[in-house]
Chains A and B, each alone.
Chain A
Amino acid sequence: MKHNLPSLDRRRVAADILRQRGNALVVAGLGAPVWDTAAAGDHALNFYTWGGMGGAAMIGLGLALAQPARRVLVITGDGELLMGLGSLATIAVQRPRNLAVIVMDNERYGETGMQDTHTRFGVDLAGIAKAAGFRAAGTVYSAAELKSWIPRFHRHAGPLFCDIKVTTQAAPMVLPMREGPVLKNRFREALLGPSEASVPNS
């Protein structure tokens, strides 16, 4: 099994992906992917999860189906994704053309003390996504490979899956806001307009 040593810096990866976000909607999986996303620049259309481990890709699916004209990027960790592997099958069945699931794969549970995850032993997340039925899935080891993937995240028909091998180098924590109702209302207001922000009329 091919298993190169990860060399990419997660902060640079996140910054490179999000620099071209346009009006994309971004869901960040709990822990370091949240810090990476926040470090690339806070944005009302970022939804930072501080819990709900295993749910990031499904939040992305719900958003992608509700907003078919917008790109939806899920940026999450290998541990977080492993907790919701079935969601890859659920997403593949719905085939959202506007969804990309991007994994910052450090092959560790970084947040809890750098314990090995299954990807450290060769579990191939992109292979699982491909087999589930994602339109495209791949593993990225180098800056050159990442460069070829970034335009796909923003433009190609999804669902797309990309497992990006990043180093275990810890970056400084960048903690964004964490109150759920504030994050939710800020997001909905930016996306749907002020009248929809809190409780809509039914």
Chain B
Amino acid sequence: MPDSGHARLITLVRADRRLRAIPLTTEEEGVALAVGAWLGGERSVLLMQSSGAGNCINMLGMANECRVPLLALVTMRGQWGEFNPWQVPMSRATAPSLAAIGMVVQAVDRAGEVGESVAAAARLAFSTSRMIAVLISQRVVGAKEFK
């Protein structure tokens, strides 16, 4: 489920024949998709904006119970320099609610650290069969301009 912070990544995925971009109608579809893909022997990465974290909670409970490795790259809104007040509540609930359902939550605040943080999170997820959310700060992706 795209956020503007994922735009370039999605374009790169679409251009790479080894990868497949699967658009969703809601984020929890991606959690169930990841469970099926893992049962079938494939890895997946879930891309979402922080507003989508709450949509996933019960489905994440399934991935947690089944110890399905899950890597989510969550771009934060409602945080650093936000303009839209409606983004703030879910933004503030993102880390606690993902942690409450059993995800390991790792925040990244600097652009220079995103690459190595995602690589480390992927290793943790797929080597230890755990759910990891990398929260990429709005400071990294930039506040959206409404004009």
Contacts and interface: CB of A to CB of B under 8 A. Distances in A.
Interface of A: 25, 27, 47, 49-67, 84, 86-87, 89-90, 93-94, 180-181, 183-184, 187-188, 191-192, 196, 198-200, 202
A113 B141 CA distance: 48
B38 A62 contact: yes
Of A52, A54, A187, A199, most B-chain CB atoms within 10 Å: A52
A42 B43 CA distance: 27
A49 B62 contact: yes
A103 B79 CA distance: 42
B136 interface: no
Given A55-B62, A181-B66, A183-B66, A61 B24 contact: no
Interface size bracket, B side = 35 or more
Nearest to A94: B22
B58 A25 contact: no
A60 B34 CA distance: 10
A49 B48 CA distance: 24
Given A59-B36, A86-B29, A90-B22, A180 B41 contact: no
Contacts of A60: 36
B66 A180 contact: yes
A196 B69 CA distance: 13
B42 interface: yes
B2 interface: no
16 contacts: A25-B40, A47-B39, A51-B58, A52-B58, A52-B59, A54-B28, A55-B59, A56-B32, A59-B32, A59-B39, A62-B40, A86-B25, A90-B25, A94-B22, A191-B39, A199-B129
Contact of A198 (B23, B32, B61, B129): B129
A191 B41 contact: yes
B110 interface: no
Contacts of B35: 52, 55, 59, 62
- Top 5 closest A-B pairs, CB basis? A62-B36, A66-B40, A86-B25, A55-B32, A180-B66
A126 to B, nearest CB: 19
A94 B41 CA distance: 18
B132 interface: no
Interface stretch (B4-12, B81-89, B90-98, B120-128): B120-128
Instruction: Name the residue among B23, B62, B68, B127 with the largest chain A CB count within 10 angstroms.
Output: B62
A62 B59 contact: no
Given A62-B32, A198-B129, A188 B39 contact: yes
Nearest to A47: B39
Contacts of A49: 62
B59 A54 contact: yes
B26 A86 contact: yes
B62 A93 contact: no
Interface in B28-71: 28-42, 44, 58-59, 61-62, 65-68
A21 B39 CA distance: 18
Given A54-B28, A181-B67, A184-B39, A199 B128 contact: yes
